[in-house]
Structure 1
């Protein structure tokens, strides 16, 4: 049960999760991206027709939409999933044996669940994904900073909540510990969500297309984190059973 063993299994879980996530993103997400692009092109067409006679612009290097939605999407999804799987694996290695009486497989599942809530779900609730044609290009930098600020606060608050729970478990029941630690996390992220700026740059973008896009985005995130958590939990659980059986045989042999 070494960190290397957790890391290797995390990378494998990330690879498998990346393949599954690509399928979900392609089936559920890409049609919504196409719909958003169609809205963007419909809005931009009159302006392009008006300015076409005044100046000729170099379009530069363009990547076809087919490549974006296939190879580009697959490459990005696999890269993110593999890296995320490795990170979850290393954190799970650190958490093994340090969270109450949970077995390594159980603590791995908990790490993946808490990671999804802190890194993906809570920041998404404050700053949900936006499709093409939504948002002012001049505010991309500020919106990026605000998103990562919310994500950082949420992650640090979750780490603090876990440390608080570990300290309280020695003197309180599990229910009260979860209530206090979970409440502390909620207070921090709610305050952060209220204090951080609100982004409202939707304009006249169709509400149904925006909803479908954001629903697909959340489904893709949940698939990635869920697949990593489930696969890695199974791999770590099998490793723990194998190591436990080996240790039991050694102990038995030592008594003979």
Structure 2
């Protein structure tokens, strides 16, 4: 299939995934953000540099869906390019299975591995003085997460049976993740007074948004790659000159 067609399918799948992820975030994530903002405002007056240009309602509504839609669109394009480059390395004859494998690996490396080390915090949590260090550390965790997934794939190829491939992949993945988590710095900036339940719910909803995004992207892209089959009872159409 030409790259142009793969890219268009990726953009469409990404847009759908972004909008669905936005819907999940609106239903399950925004209430926790509102609660965190309320706690911040109750703690005392805060100066944010004048009036807000966009109201909170607009941010959590139209703004949220616009942001996740554009984000999904960009990810869909990148995903299609990555699929094109890595398709031959994914040892399967099924294009749909290859797309699902790539989406699952990306979810694990790009989202889950960094989440375990650096789970997101709601507004009002975190020291502004360490934002640069936290950003660099998080990007390092993302890079190492992708390396861990790649190491698992390389380790699996060294074995010739299913259980050996699974064992080698697991060990290769855990080795990189363990080293990464030991080397990367730890940031514990959550105030002791911040509600633990709210923090947990916010982090779970953030992870859920990413899971919805990548799961939908993988499933939709795989579906778009699957060729349509002519019904068995449909008459065959012949074209004559």
Normalised-by-shorter TM-score class: 0.7 to 0.9
Secondary structure of 1:176 counterpart: helix
- Name the counterpart of 1:178: 166
* Distance of 2:38 and 2:79 partners within structure 1: 37
- Name the counterpart of 1:75: 66
Structure showing greater radius of gyration is 1
Q: Which stretches in structure 1 are left out of the alignment for 5+ residues?
A: 49-55, 243-248, 250-256
- Name the counterpart of 1:211: 200
Q: Deviations over 1:119-166 (max 9, x none)?
A: 011111110111001111111111111111100111123223323434
1:60, distance to aligned residue in structure 2 (A): 5.8
- Name the counterpart of 1:40: 40
Q: 1:212 to 1:178 in 2, by over 3 A?
A: same
* Distance of 2:4 and 2:166 partners within structure 1: 31
- The match for 1:234 among 217, 223, 233 is 223
- Equivalences for residues 76-91 of structure 1 within 5 A: 76-91=67-82
Q: Which stretches in structure 2 are left out of the alignment for 5+ residues?
A: 231-235, 237-241
- Name the counterpart of 1:130: 121
- The match for 2:181 among 169, 172, 193 is 193
Secondary structure of 2:227 counterpart: helix
Instruction: Say whether the 8 Å CA contact 1:97–1:104 is kept in structure 2.
Output: no
* Distance of 2:204 and 2:91 partners within structure 1: 35
Q: Structure 1 residue runs of 4+, over 4 Å off?
A: none
Q: Deviations over 1:199-243 (max 9, x none)?
A: 10001211111111111101101000010011111111237x69x
TM norm structure 2 = 0.88
Instruction: Say whether the 8 Å CA contact 1:95–1:107 is kept in structure 2.
Output: no
CA RMSD of aligned residues (A): 2.1
TM norm structure 1 = 0.83
